[in-house]
Amino acid sequence: MMVGIMNGTMSLVIFVLVIFGVVFLIGFSKRALFRMALRNLWRRKTNIAVVTAGLLIGTAIITSSFVIGDTFGYIFKSVVYEELDRTDELVGALGGRTGAYAYFPSSYYQNLSDARDAGNLTSIDGLAPAILESAPVLDTLTSLSEASVNIMGIDARADAEFGFFHEVDGDRITGETVFLQPNATIINERLAKQLDAEPGHIVLIHYTVYINETIPDPRVKSLTVASIVKNVGKANFLWGENLFITLDLAQEMFEKPGMINLIRVSNEGGVETGVARTDSAKEEIEAVIGTKDENPFGLEVMTIKRDNIDIAEEGSQAISELFTIMSTFAIIAGVILIVNIFVMLAEERKSEMGTARALGMKRRHLVLSYVLEGSVYALLAAFLGAFAGLGIAYLMILAFAQIFGAAGLAIPFYFEADSLILGFSLGALITFMTVVLSSWVVSKLNIVRAIRGIPEPSLARPTRRFVVMGGLLVALGVLLTYAGVVQLSQAYFMTGPCILLLGGAMVVSKRWGTRVPITVASLGSIVWILLPVDLIEGMTGGMEMFILSGVFLVLSAVLLVMANSHALVNFISRLNAGRKDALPVVRMALSYPMKKKFRTGMTLVMFALIIFTVTVIAMISSFQANFVEGTYEDQSGAYDIIGTANYMTPIANISGTIQSSSILANRFDEVGTMTTAFTTAYNAGDGENATFHVRVYGANDDFLDSNDFTFHSISADYDGPDDVWDAVRTNSSLIVLDASGMLVIQGYAPELMNVLQAEVDDTVVVDTPLGPSEKQVIGTLNEFYFFQGMITSEVFSQDQFGPQLPVLFFFKGTDSGSSNIRSLAKDLEKEFVGSGLQTTVIWDFLAEQLRTQSAIMNLIQVYLGMGLVVGIAGLAIVAIRSVVERRQEIGVMRAIGYKRRMVMRVFLMEISFISLLGIIAGIVLGVALSFHIYRGFFGATAEFTHFLSLIPIVNLLAIAVIAFVLTLLLTISSAFKAAKIVPAEALRFKE
């Protein structure tokens, strides 16, 4: 678990220990109560397994979400440690207009080195100057190339402080001897694999030098592969395809004599522990070179390792939270199960509780007895649940490994003991609190009625307290609705009217009885939640809406069913009226659950909630799988292929080259291009403190004329996309943004994406070589996959950022959409191999993305489906309990003419009825709510018939069948037991 939570974990563990310690201490001081609690627990041994299984699920789900977070945290952090190795900070200036590091005199390195020798850099144990550029590399023997290779010029002697290179045959080398040969290079295994290179091969680096910083001069450098080293330590820098040369050679190649663009810094301590000294290291370095604002080259100490570790931790925490949020339904169901279990236990022991009270036991003693028993259950279930969670997480990680394995990402299973302890503590605490509450409620009894087994009188009219409660709910509902409108909060605006309706129903029930008001209120709530209209513009809501909608929908549906139970029983009875044997079975099977409203209602809520969640996830999965076209429209701009060239080797006149190419001529309808400049910008509304790195794309006329990228929003001053693009072409102060900023603003993407957040009509201040320049956002795109930043015209970009050549290309083939596009993409790469052009067939890329997302959703569906165990355990307990408490009635049934098989059918039908009702309610509500999500996906193109066609009927049927069959399997033994009861014995039976 994350370090930040450590303190929280400890406090929680201590809190839990204190609570259980106090409970058991009181238990020991009241030995008789403790003995009674333990014996009650042990009395029905078969119950223990079912009850524990039901209780442990909450803990298991909580623990598994933590452990999944652990694993991802471990993976993310491992990536950071492996790609940075001993490097903790980088000294340099991001700000070369290509986005690469800007050059500065190597004297800065010398100053730092001198300071260290003088003992002024006590937090640092390694310093090394470097030149880092990216360029395409070609192996002359194999003719294979790699477009983006990190070209690293290093000082082998200084670099020795960052560890060794490890040759593939196992030797450790520093590079000094290797670099004695002229034009020698060391490459890592990753690059060697791409090039199929071996020692002795000649490789060519294609790069561009800008004469006087303006005129591009393409060059090629020939090098000999002297050594191939493993992808470990410094050779794995930035997880890239790395090629190492001497610093002198790099300075010569890039014509930067006496200059470097990076200083790598290693802190005192190891790869993982050095990061703790980040602050002091930064302080010491800044004392020598000055801060970013103080030195003329804008050099800053980039705390790269700590930043990346923070991002890794935030990322894994986000994953953990996502799983926890999605598991909320199962946890709620678990809490309901605990309440149900304790209410049933209390019913079973009502007579002895009455006797105990008659003999002088106080109500608090009864509560304590239950709490003691519940504490044993809570601890046992939390202990087993924590390990079950570990198992669940392991299976999930295995499944994730299957999904991502193809992409070459290794996903090892990893967990920290803290997660188990935290899961255990939270699980035990939730169970304990529910137990205390339930115990308090069930301990309230009428002694005489309890002893004599007389049922509690049913109230003809609601009590005064019920009405007052209703009044309070009305007030709360009004308050929430008002808060929703004022704060533009969907959560309040949705729940307020639901609570208001329920409270209203309770108030008027004094006059009109409960059935009609509750029916109206629950139907009203369902309609309100499912209303496919946004009544108030600009309301926001996040994941909590999913939880709240689910809980309120399911509660309303269950209230509706329970309020109209009599009508439901009559209706089903009439359907079976003509069939011999059927009616007595149906009537008996349905009457019990419909009369035991609390128990049935709670069980229904449990079951329906889980099925609801699984259904919604299945629906989202279906939407995703069917959203290729929508995604394609948004992300592709109607182009077929996206191409990127290395910034070192931009392509000056791609259309001309294509026309003169024997393999490419006349195969394209349109070719759009973009230059890119790297700078910083901030939203004028947010102020200079919220400055972000941004790319400024300079689009050529072809792109501005021909792209079909869809817009998320357009300023009211413009008629449509064409109008917007025309404005961008003619006015340098107008820009279009991609979707990434909007995604953060709307809560779909995390803040840590660190992107400029702006909406249409916002003013953005962009840093240019000519000074700050104000731009007005006139449109935001839906695109975010292939380019992220602001779009202006190529001409305006060059005016402000100096001469640039295009590096981003958009191709539309003459046979657009056909499978020929793939070969076209390959031919493009062949033709522009010298520029390292990398192509992506947009349709294939998006389809793969959606397949992966869909696979993840299916996995989450299975994960949430595990909550079914709660529902099924709940039904199993109801079944066991039903047979026990109705033993005598079974005797009467058998005496008056129910055959054995009829008794069995009564019990099977009873459980099937609850389970089917829960399944149907969950699926229907899940599908209905998904219409909201569908509209979010498909926007303006959303149509109800299309929505219906996307319902994954087979998937939902499978969910229903699995849930139903599992329920029957677990409850069938109870039905068998009921059928085998000998009537004479049953009639003698006293519980």
Partner 1 sequence: MEQEHIVQAKNLHKVYETGELKVHALRGVDIEIERGEMISIMGPSGCGKTTLLNCLSGIDDPTQGEVIIEGTSLADLSDNEKTEYRAKRIGFVFQAYNLFPVLTAAENVEMPLLLGGVRLREARKRALKALKHVGLEDSETKLPSELSGGEQQRVAIARALVNDPAIVFGDELTGNLDTETSDQVMDLIHEMNRRNKQTFVIVTHDPKVGDMAHRVLKFRDGTVEKEYRPIG
Residues in contact with partner 1 by the rule CB under 8 A? 455, 457-458, 573-574, 577-578, 580-581, 583-584, 587-588, 591-592, 594-596, 888-889, 891-892, 894-900, 982-985, 987-988
Closer to partner 1 by Cβ: residue 594 or 658: 594
Q: Which helix (H) or strand (E) element contains residue 683?
A: strand 668-683
Q: What tokens does 44 get?
A: 């029905």
- Shortest Å, Cβ 903 to partner 1: 10
Closer to partner 1 by Cβ: residue 534 or 581: 581
- Shortest Å, Cβ 450 to partner 1: 15
Contacts of 632 (CB under 8 A, 6+ apart): 842, 843, 846
| DSSP, residue by residue, 411-458 | ------HHHHHHHHHHHHHHHHHHHHHHHHHHT---HHHHHHTPPPPP
8 Å CB contact between 844 and 822: yes
Closer to partner 1 by Cβ: residue 76 or 898: 898
CA distance to 693, 699, 765, 767, per residue, from 779 (Å): 20, 15, 16, 20
8 Å CB contact between 794 and 652: no
8 Å CB contact between 505 and 549: no
Q: Is 954 helix (H, G, I), strand (E, B) or coil?
A: helix
- Shortest Å, Cβ 896 to partner 1: 5
- Shortest Å, Cβ 913 to partner 1: 13
- Shortest Å, Cβ 712 to partner 1: 58
| Phi, then psi, of 343 in degrees rounded to 5 | -65, -40
In whole angstroms, what separates CA 416 from the centre of its chain?
A: 20
Q: What is the DSSP letter of 817?
A: T
8 Å CB contact between 243 and 150: yes
Angle, nearest 10°, between helix axes 628-636 and 842-865? 130
- Shortest Å, Cβ 894 to partner 1: 7
Closer to partner 1 by Cβ: residue 381 or 594: 594
CA distance to 673, 674, 709, 731, 735, per residue, from 702 (Å): 8, 10, 13, 17, 17
Cα–Cα distance measured from residue 112 to residue 126, given in angstroms and rounded to the nearest whole number = 11
Closer to partner 1 by Cβ: residue 232 or 987: 987
Closer to partner 1 by Cβ: residue 454 or 475: 454
Closer to partner 1 by Cβ: residue 39 or 988: 988
Closer to partner 1 by Cβ: residue 121 or 883: 883
Closer to partner 1 by Cβ: residue 161 or 889: 889
Partner residues linked to 810 by β-bridges: 642, 672
Q: What is the DSSP letter of 709?
A: P
Q: What tokens does 508 get?
A: 């008027």
Q: 10 Å Cβ neighbour count for 969?
A: 11
Residue 716, CB half-sphere, CA atoms under 13 Å: how many? 0
- Shortest Å, Cβ 6 to partner 1: 54
- Shortest Å, Cβ 901 to partner 1: 8
Partner residues linked to 263 by β-bridges: 91, 129
Cα–Cα distance measured from residue 714 to residue 964, given in angstroms and rounded to the nearest whole number = 50
- Shortest Å, Cβ 988 to partner 1: 8
Closer to partner 1 by Cβ: residue 591 or 626: 591
Q: What is the DSSP letter of 103?
A: P
- Shortest Å, Cβ 597 to partner 1: 11
CA 106, 108, 114, 115: dihedral to nearest 10 degrees? -160
Q: 10 Å Cβ neighbour count for 430?
A: 20
- Shortest Å, Cβ 959 to partner 1: 31
Closer to partner 1 by Cβ: residue 341 or 594: 594
- Shortest Å, Cβ 571 to partner 1: 13
- Shortest Å, Cβ 458 to partner 1: 6
Q: Are strands 668-683 and 808-813 parallel, antiparallel or unpaired?
A: antiparallel
Closer to partner 1 by Cβ: residue 118 or 460: 460
Closer to partner 1 by Cβ: residue 67 or 594: 594
Closer to partner 1 by Cβ: residue 407 or 896: 896
Cα–Cα distance measured from residue 224 to residue 183, given in angstroms and rounded to the nearest whole number = 6
- Shortest Å, Cβ 579 to partner 1: 10
Pure H helices in 868-950: 868-885, 887-896, 900-938, 944-949
